[in-house]
Amino acid sequence: MKKIDMLTPIGILIGISMVVFGVISSGGMSGFLAFIDVPSILIVLGGVFGTLCVSFPLKQLKNMGRVGKQAFQSKEINVEEIVGTFVHLSEKARREGLLSLEAELEQIDDSFVKKGILLAIDGVEPEMIRELLEAEIAAVEERHTRGRSMFEKAGDYAPAWGMIGTLVGLVLMLMLKSLNTPSSLGPNMAIALLTTFYGALLSNLFFQPIAAKLAGKTEHELFVKEVIIEGVIGLQAGQKSRFVQAKLKVFAPVEKRKLEEKREHVREA
Judged by CB under 8 A, the residue of 83, 89, 148, 165 near its own copies is 165
Q: Which of residues 49-108 bind its own copies (CB under 8 A)?
A: 49-58, 60-61, 71, 74
How far, in Å, CA of 15 to CA of 24, rounded?
14
Beta bridge partners of 3: 74
Contact at 8 Å (CB) between 244 and 231?
yes
In the complex, least distance from residue 101 CB atom to its own copies, rounded to whole angstroms: 19
Which one of 22-30, 81-89, 90-98, 231-239 is the stretch in contact with its own copies (CB under 8 A)?
22-30
Contact flag: residue 186 with its own copies (CB under 8 A) = yes
Applying CB under 8 A, does 266 fall inside the site for its own copies?
no
Angstrom distance (rounded) from CA 200 to CA 197 = 5
Residue number with CB closer to its own copies (92 or 237): 237
- What's the rounded Cα separation, in Å, for the pair 235 and 51? 49
Count Cα neighbours of 80 within 13 Å in the Cβ-side half-sphere.
8
- CB of 12 or CB of 108, closer to its own copies: 12
- Nearest CA to 7 out of 65, 73, 63, 69 is that of 73
Of 94 and 208, CB closest to its own copies: 208
Taking the complex as a whole, the smallest distance from the CB of residue 92 to its own copies amounts, in Å, to: 23
Tell me how many residues contact its own copies (CB under 8 A). 105
Please tell me whether residue 157 adopts helix, strand or coil conformation: helix
Indicate whether 176 belongs to the interface with its own copies (CB under 8 A): yes
Give 104 or 172: the residue with its C-beta nearer to its own copies.
Answer: 172
- Candidates 82, 80, 78, 76; CA nearest to 229 is 82
* Closer residue to its own copies (CB): 96 or 125: 125
